Structure 1
Amino acid sequence: MTPDEFRELYERLRRQAPGEAARPAVDDRCGALRHLTPERVAAAAAEVRLGRSVSLAAPIDTVRGPDDPEPAVHRMTGPSPGDVASGALCFATDRFAMNVHGDADSHLDALCHVVFDGELYGGVPAGTVTAEGARSLSVSLVENGIVGRGVLLDIPRLRGVRWLEPGDQVTPDDLTAAEAAQGVRVGPGDLLFVRVGHRLRRTELGPWNAAEARAGLHPAAVEFLAEREVAALGGDGNNDTAPSAVADVAFPVHVLAIHALGIHLMDYLQFEDLVPVCARAGRWSFLCAVAPLRLTGATGSPVNPIAVL
């Protein structure tokens, strides 16, 4: 995609952003979550038939690797050997820290995460993000969680491969073909999850520098999200390919989805536990609950989405 084609697509999608003219205040801007109405949340409960819950998050990694140069840090702070030896009441305690937007751990991107043309989503000035945190569009917009109908489209399954190789791209035709092959259709307010097999490849072949080479969506696929009025998008990679499909725009899918459409993204999930459950059940939709941490002013959060079938 040429830079001019990307710019035209960006402007077209931005004009389609939900409720753009109806937002009375910056902090009321919830973006594409406006598609996720109370009626659609209630209807999503009907997806539960097996009573089976499955995590869509990968285990948090504390080991340095080529895709994780700043791994999460987990440190035990108690009890001390003396506490244990004393026989008195004591507690096991620990501390945890992580780089939220890395290339290994499952996380959710807030609407303040992408700065493009000097602005955040909806024309909010980029200066609202300061050293003290984001004053607008932070992860606190979803402090009550994102709950709705989840749909998993498995692109390696469609193509008859175990995973897509780094650099490969998921097209709009791939998404519609996966729908047909799996007997499911993505609709308004859905939480769409697109599997490229990144996590399986990493598990079997070992980690690599995903910042330089990874499979993901082609920018044109974001039109599919807009047409179907998707509320949130999650992938088992970064959602963007590397190298980028657009010269001079490193993360075109992030720009189009977050900045133009106001879609919350979830990166580096894992679907290897969910795929066999969906395959055995013969259906690829489910109730999904996404619960980020309740943080103030944060640009994202570690996340553990739960699919309930």
Structure 2
Amino acid sequence: MGPNPVDDPGPGPAGTGDRTAVSRREFDALFEAVRTWGRWAPADRGAWNRVTAEHVRRATAAVRSGKVVPLALPWNTVPGPDNPRPALHHMTDLGDVESPEPSTHKDFLAADYHGKAVTHLDALCHVAYRGRLYDGRAAEDVVGAAGARFGAVSALGPLVTRGVLLDLPAVLGVRWLEPGRAVHAKDVAAAEDALGVRIGEGDAVLLRSGHGRRRGDLGAWDSAAASAGFHVDAVPLLAERGIALLGGDGDSDVRPSPVDGVHSPVHALAVAAMGVPLLDNLDLEALSAATAEAGRYEFLLVVAPLNVPGGTGSPVNPVAVL
């Protein structure tokens, strides 16, 4: 049984929402309020240190049907307004007969994956604010041409924890949130109530805005300029709950940004202040249908990034297990 829709607090027919402006001074105060520098060792695992073996055990014990839902977008090699640097895929061997048999077929993959078209994980070395990475490390001291010596994706390893889906279109009774619709702390609380789930310590929180459904129906747009996502006022609630991972079918940030001079303020708060890795560009449409059918919005989440020493992140194919 699905959620009971609640009134969309945003104005406009499709809920364009309120991106209440935040000054740079207010943002800097918020950054200080949620930052967790010096809290954990090893520091370059950041908030992922919250996820213990007991967290994983509880997450696996929550599996009931065994239904597996992949969460990655298809590898996107087609240029578009949301894909200015398309991923590459070409064949390097078309089955030429070798001696001895068998013949083989081989292909090549490459991507400038930090963008809007490839499902990927952001490591802690990916985002700096005022020149500082998570834990106060100076970005210029630890990130260079050979990669990062702190906060690399190789420090994270496979990520396994309880996932929580905040399915805002299902809660609001709309097909999608319009680009620019901000998700505030009050929206997160209302979604928890409507979906019958509560965010807890060590959780991965995934925000569905309906981005994929809108793109499928209306076509691609420049989502770097306009997208639904979290307003910065939702971050203290997520910090208070002790989340370990944040993601969505966009990149978590509402755009245009509500903070003057900060294009991706949720990135800055989550990664650089809180040490929370991000999952960007998920496909959450099948998960939305599966959670609605199951009548529950929690699941086991498994994310296995590539082991890239010094890497700022990795393309991933996360899976949810219900």
* TM norm structure 2: 0.90
Q: CA deviation at 1:113?
A: 0.5
CA–CA distance in structure 2, aligned partners of residues 29 and 64 of structure 1: 34
User: Which of the residues 8, 24, 33 maps onto 1:3?
Assistant: 24
SS in 2 for 1:209: coil
Residue from 151, 154, 157 that aligns with 1:137 = 151
The match for 1:304 is: 317
Check whether the contact 2:48–2:156 (CA below 8 A) recurs between aligned residues: no
Report the aligned-residue RMSD: 1.5
1:8-53 Cα offsets, whole Å, 9 max, x none, are 1011111xx17x2453xxx543111122121111111111110110
Q: Indicate the residue corresponding to 1:12 in structure 2.
A: 33
Q: Supply the distance in 2 between the matched residues of 1:88 and 1:9 (Cα, whole angstroms).
A: 63
Consecutive unaligned residues of structure 2, counting only runs of 5 or more, are 1-21
Match 2:71 to one of 32, 51, 56: 56
Instruction: Choose from 306, 309, 317 the match for 1:293.
Output: 306
What residue number does 1:95 align with? 108
Q: Using the alignment, how far apart are the partners of 1:180 and 1:75 within structure 2?
A: 47
1:278 deviates by: 0.8
The alpha-carbon distance between structure 1 residues 90 and 233, as it changes in their structure 2 partners (threshold 3 A), is same
In 2, the alpha carbon distance for the partners of 1:188 and 1:22 equals 15
| TM alignment of 1:269-288, pairs within 5 A | 269-288=282-301
The structural deviation recorded for 1:79 is: 2.1
- Aligned-partner residue type, residue 117 of structure 1: R
Residue 105 of structure 1, CA deviation: 1.2
Deviations 1:246-283 (A, max 9, x none): 00011100000000000000011011011111111111
- Please point out which of 225, 229, 244 is paired with 2:257: 244
Return the match for 2:119 from 106, 126, 137.
106
How far off is 1:204 after superposition? Answer: 1.3
1:124 maps to what in 2?
Answer: 137
1:137 partner amino acid: G
Deviations 1:61-103 (A, max 9, x none): 11111110111000100125x539x995210001000011011
Aligned counterpart in structure 2 of residue 41 of structure 1, from 52, 56, 59: 56
Query: Corresponding residue for 1:73?
Result: 88
Q: Equivalent residue of 2:117, what SS?
A: coil
- Please identify, of 30-39 and 230-239, the stretch whose mean Cα deviation from structure 2 is larger: 30-39
Partner of 2:177: 164
The alignment partner of 2:233 has SS state of helix
**1: CA distance, partners of 2:168 / 2:278:** 18
* Secondary structure in structure 2 of the residue aligned to 1:245: coil
Cα distance, 1:119 vs. partner? 1.2
Output the TM-score relative to the length of structure 1. 0.94
The aligned amino acid for 2:47 is A
Does the 8 Å CA contact 2:148/2:311 hold for their aligned counterparts? yes
Structure 1 stretches of 4+ with a deviation exceeding 4 A read none
Percentage identity across paired residues of the two chains:
49
Which residue of structure 2 lines up, in the alignment, with residue 30 of structure 1? Answer: 45
Instruction: Report the number of matched residues.
Output: 300
Q: Could you give the per-residue CA deviations for residues 207-263 of structure 1, whole angstroms, max 9, x where no partner exists? A: 111111111100111111101100100100011111111000111000000000000
Structure 1, unaligned runs of 5 or more: none
Q: Which amino acid aligns with 1:129?
A: V
3-state DSSP class of the match of 2:306? coil
Q: Is the 8 A contact 2:44 2:152 kept in 1?
A: no
Amino acid aligned to 1:130: G
> Which residue of structure 2 lines up, in the alignment, with residue 190 of structure 1?
203
Aligned to 1:224: 237
Q: 1:76 to 1:98 in 2, by over 3 A?
A: same
User: Secondary structure of 2:285's match?
Assistant: coil
SS of corresponding position for 1:150: strand
